[in-house]
Every structure is written in C-alpha cells, then in structure tokens.
Amino acid sequence: MKLTFHGGVEGVTGSCHHVQTAATRFLVDCGMFQGGRDTDAKNHAPFAFEPRDIEFVLLTHAHIDHSGLLPRLVAEGFAGPIYATAATCDLLKVMLLDSAHIQEKEAEWRKEARSRPPNHAKPIYTVRDAERTLRQLKPVAYGHEFKPHEALRCIYRDAGHILGSAIIEAWIKDGSRTVKGVFSGDIGQPARALVRDATPVHEADFVLIESTYGNRLHRSIDETLKELEHAITDTLRRKRGNVIVPAFAVGRAQEMLYLLADLHRRGRLPKMQIYVDSPLAMQATEITLRHMAILDPETSQVLKWARNQNGIDVHFVQDVEDSIALHQIKRGAIIISASGMCDAGRIKHHLRHNLPRKECTVLITGFQAAGTLGRRLVDGAKDVRLFGIPVAVRADIYTIGGLSAHADQAGLLGWLKHFNRAPAHTFIVHGEPETAALFGEVVREQLRWPNVTVPQAHVSFDL
C-alpha cells in the first residue's frame, strides 16, 4: 500500500492524501490552496495523479482547504462517490457553489485586467462543475460502518472542529493483510462552543495528525472570554467605534453569534447591534440549526434563550447594497464578515472603512495563513493595501487565539494519548513547516512514538 501527500503538507491548506493499494485508489480530501503568492499556480497546476483513476473520495469536512478542489477533480474525469457526513454534505451544497461563483468572477476580472498568465485567466472550475460534484455526494452518519469498496471499511467519528467535521477510521485490505489508518482531519479544541469534543480513537497502524497549532498553547476559555468582553465593551462604550470580525463563514461566524449571545445572557456584554455580512454565513447558520442533534447540548439552551430576548439584534445582510450601507455606520456595530483571513469578500471593504479609525477594533479570531492580509495585521503591519490603495492601520487589532477551531499542542497531544499503543507510522500534516517539525519532535519525545514523519509534497510512503 502506498500513501502520497499532494497537499496539506509544507503548509496548512490544500489537504489531499492519495492512497493506492492493489485493489483500489482513493483520496482523503481534495482541498484548495489558500494564502501566499503561489496559490494560483498551485490551484491551477495539473493533479499529480489521474483523476479518472480515483475510485472514491473520503472527505473529512467542508472547509474549502479540504474540499475546494473537488469540482476541478470532477471536471477532469473523477466520477466516483464522495463520502462525507450529512452535515458536511449540506454545507458543501452552499460552499462549493459559492466557491465556483467566486472562481468565475475572479476569472472575468483577471481576463479584463490581464493580470495573470493566460491559463490562470480561466476559472479553476465553474458553477456547472460544482453542481455535478454535488450529485456525487454520499452522506454517512457518525459511528456507522460503511464500505466504499470491497477492500475498505470506514467509520466517521466526530472531530469537534466544525459542524459535520470527521475523523476517519479506515480498515484497508492490501492483499492478504488489513492495515488500519486514521485520518484526523482537523481536530477541534476541547470544551468549545457549538460542537462536541473530538472522539477518541484507540488503535491504528498509521495516523495522519494535523498540526496547525502544534507549536503553541491557546489561552484558556475563561481568559479568552475576558479578552473578548474587554475588546467589545471598550470599543462600544469608551471608544464609541465599530468592532470588525473577519470570520470564516462556516464555523467561526456561528460560534461568534453563540458566544455573543451567551455573554449577553450572563450580563457581561451590553445590548448589541450585530451584522452578519455574508450570505454564505447566513446559509451556514440555517444549516447549523437543522443539525442541532450533533451539536454540544448546551448550545440549544443558549439559542432558545436568544430567540426570546431583545438584548441582541442580529441582522443577516445579503444584498450588496445593504452591505455597502454598513459603511455609513460609524459606531456601535459589530460586523461579522468573510473571509476569515481577510483576503477576499466583503470583509475587505469593511476593513478599508474601519482600519484607519482609531476608535474601531478588529478581532482576529482564527488562523491566518502566511501571505494573507489577516496575517499581516496579526504581525503588526502599520499600513496595508486594499484594492490597490494604501490604508493606514489605526484601529486596535486583537488576536483572540483562544477561539480557534483547531486544537492547540496540548489538545492534539491529549487526543493522541488515547491510542493504546504507538502506531507503526505517524505523519504530521496540515502545519507550517517549522510548526509541523516542532510538533513532530514533541510527539517523539513526550509520547515516545517511533517513526514520526513530517512528509513533503508529492512524496510517497510504502506502508
């Protein structure tokens, strides 16, 4: 059996793992690369395998860095099923269409601006490709065994990352032997809002473990909420400005709404005017409410309370005209908008109008990949360029790292410690190079696991 890493290594995006046995070939995830100057080139580059040869895809969750190249895979000949949890399938119905729409619009702009090589002026995929992809989705339930192939049986476990996120346990027949692999996907931080904690796994012959925050510890949830409370009350009451929250439309936007409602319920935040300026976030919120059964039990109590209170006013903004109208609000607004790394979408407009104002605050609540606008703000940039125009950074920038949907080093180690014995092979993926290397050393030293590898792109391993 051969395992090849075509993405989600040497960085935190583009997850794509290729498994080949004598009987079958399949992928775990097929994600888009995000952030950095070479992103376009990576997303347009030919696949390192023949899409027609892939029999099926196992998908860990809906985030675009794990799912975003599925329509391109389909466009180039992949015709097999895509297995994912039911909630992930629902999210993909809006996320992949949204992504395809963005690809088409950006391709039009590039063609007019002639700002890219000719092959990059074409969309990575189209809305039609995304629609074809959606017809290949096959929903599966947490904890139920299914067989994508006669040589493979799988069980999806809750990863505690976002709605529908999964850890994949896979028993792979290779000739006369069966090898068990575990693909962590993205592991959530324990005891966080909305989602349940990641499900422990106890046995594996090989493991792929993410390492996004494998080099650090998040602040405790109590410290995090105190910082969030201070940032909002200081901005709304003392500075009398706006709070701008770049947030991933799926997961982080819903968590922020939950936390704001809960803090107000407990008397820690004042009455608020909240604007969610992302049609995708509105759709994702509606989908979240349809899947209450798989959320953390406390969530439903807070949401029921919020529906019957007038202490927070939440406005979902869809039309472009209504989004533009938000620029006229000079104080008292909390604006949650995508993208979460500040590199696309409506958030860039809100930053252009609020970054230069010292009475405003920007809350960074999620991971910011190298090369993104969000990363530059986190790193302390004094000015940035938006739409080709220099913009001074006078607003306060708060990095609320404790809200991350990814487990920190302790959370990742805590999940790995549930294994009864060391896997024969452990692969550290989904981390920036220095972070992945450091986390690999931590796993070797603290868990005393042998054969811990930080793989490079397109390198294969015989298992």
CATH number of the domain encompassing residue 112 = 3.60.15.10
pLDDT tens digits, residue range 17-69? 999 999 999 999 999 998 777 888 999 999 999 999 999 999 999 999 999 99
Q: In the structure, what pLDDT confidence band is assigned to residue 218 with cuts at 50, 70 and 90? A: very high
**Predicted local distance difference test score (pLDDT) of residue 114:** 63
Q: Which tokens belong to 437?
A: 């290397």
With a CB cutoff of 8 Å and minimum separation 6, the contacts of 222 are none
Note whether 210 and 279 are same-domain residues: no
Domain count, the chain: 2
Note whether 64 and 127 are same-domain residues: yes
| Residue in the block written with tokens 């300026």 | 277
With a CB cutoff of 8 Å and minimum separation 6, the contacts of 140 are 83, 84, 85, 86, 146, 154, 156
Q: Provide the 10 A C-beta neighbour count for residue 433.
A: 13
Average pLDDT of the segment spanning 92-118? 81
Average pLDDT of the segment spanning 213-240? 94
**Predicted local distance difference test score (pLDDT) of residue 212:** 96
Average pLDDT of the segment spanning 357-373? 91
Domain boundary among 371, 403, 435: 403
Q: In the structure, what pLDDT confidence band is assigned to residue 379 with cuts at 50, 70 and 90? A: very high
Q: Which tokens belong to 2?
A: 């051969």
Note whether 86 and 188 are same-domain residues: yes
**Predicted local distance difference test score (pLDDT) of residue 57:** 98
**Predicted local distance difference test score (pLDDT) of residue 309:** 61
**Predicted local distance difference test score (pLDDT) of residue 403:** 86
User: What domain range includes position 32?
Assistant: 2-216+405-462
Note whether 110 and 167 are same-domain residues: yes
pLDDT tens digits, residue range 314-329? 999 999 999 999 999 9
Domain boundary among 364, 380, 403: 403
Note whether 144 and 15 are same-domain residues: yes
With a CB cutoff of 8 Å and minimum separation 6, the contacts of 460 are 2, 3, 4
Question: Which range has the worst mean pLDDT, 9-18, 133-142, 261-270?
Answer: 261-270
Residue 308 above 70 pLDDT?
no
pLDDT tens digits, residue range 177-211? 999 999 999 999 998 888 999 999 999 999 999 99
Residue 121 above 90 pLDDT?
no
Average pLDDT score over the chain: 93
Question: Which range has the worst mean pLDDT, 17-26, 101-110, 283-292, 301-310?
Answer: 301-310
Note whether 173 and 308 are same-domain residues: no
Residue 116 above 70 pLDDT?
no
Note whether 26 and 150 are same-domain residues: yes
With a CB cutoff of 8 Å and minimum separation 6, the contacts of 410 are 217
